[in-house]
Amino acid sequence: MTLLILGGTGEARELAKELVARGEHVVSSLAGRVARPKLPDGEVRVGGFGGPEGLARWLTENDVSAMIDATHPFAERIGANAAKAAQATNTPLLRLARPGWTEQPGDTWHWADDLDHAARLLPGLGERVFLTSGRQGLAAFAGLDDLWFLIRCVDPPEEPLPRRREVLLDRGPYTVEKERGLMERHGVQVLVTKDSGGAMTAAKLTAARGLGLPVVVVRRPRRPETASVTTVQDALIRLGVPSKGSPA
């Protein structure tokens, strides 16, 4: 069977690796927003499909048996397109989504509905901001001229950006020691992040907790209701793919 993985996440790459190792035909689709993405095992396509209609057409033309939405928790557009295309073509759709982060003792979290809301929360929380929400949507913070921002993202962000800023291009995973050192060197007083979940970028939360810093956390957007799992192993079970070494 042909399986389409909408990916770009670590979970998507892990799932592709497991499926390819079991002899499945896997096509991983990447949005193409990162200049040098980590490529998964199996066949890879880069770029959009042309909305839900284009995705539905691709599913039909390539005789896709099932589609797995393993995109980033904040990739809401492709999630909506996947749900519409799956319904239109009667293609089974499985959402693979890592759990969100959970506030721990010693944390001081301020939840925001979106980046605009996060920007409104910042005045009064700290004048030196560590902004780790990615390179998209940074215009929400562009008018906060009284604040200084350390902006970390994988690829260079585009204007408009905060006037007082330093841009750091880096890719996880990160360690608690390095995150704490980075915050101390730059005199960070407040951290802004999306509720991406997972261990790859969670070290900043531990570092902020140790330094007693407030954290503004952007809630995940709503996704269409569909069958969902939180681990690669559960995804394999739901897809009915036998374990390696099991009889066919």
**Contact, 96 vs 237, CB < 8 A?**
no
pLDDT one-digit tens code per residue, 123-149: 999 999 999 999 999 999 999 999 999
Q: Which CATH number fits domain 109-218: 3.40.1000, 3.30.70, 3.40.50, 3.10.129?
A: 3.40.50
Distance of CA 220 to the CA centre of its chain: 10
pLDDT one-digit tens code per residue, 2-14: 999 999 899 999 9
Q: For residue 141, what is the DSSP state?
A: G
pLDDT one-digit tens code per residue, 168-192: 999 888 999 999 999 999 999 999 9
User: Looking at this protein, which amino acid is placed at residue 195?
Assistant: D
Q: Which CATH number fits domain 2-98+222-239: 3.40.50.2300, 1.10.275.10, 3.90.550.10, 3.40.50.720?
A: 3.40.50.720
**Contact, 66 vs 236, CB < 8 A?**
no
**Contact, 9 vs 235, CB < 8 A?**
no
The structure tokens listed for 196 are 């991406």
Q: Give the phi and the psi of residue 2 in degrees, each rounded to 5.
A: -100, 130
pLDDT one-digit tens code per residue, 191-237: 999 999 988 899 999 999 999 999 999 999 998 899 999 999 999 99
Contacts of residues 133-139 at CB distance under 8 Å and 24 or more positions apart, as own/partner, are 133/192, 133/193, 133/194, 133/218, 134/74, 134/194, 136/33, 138/162
Overall residue count recorded for the chain in this entry: 248
* Full-model pTM: 0.88
Nearest Cα to Cα of residue 223 among 66, 114, 77: 77
The structure tokens listed for 94 are 């499985």
Give span(s): CATH 3.40.50.720, the chain. 2-98+222-239
CA distance 11 to 122: 32
Question: Does the pLDDT value for residue 247 go beyond 50?
Answer: no
**Contact, 231 vs 18, CB < 8 A?**
no
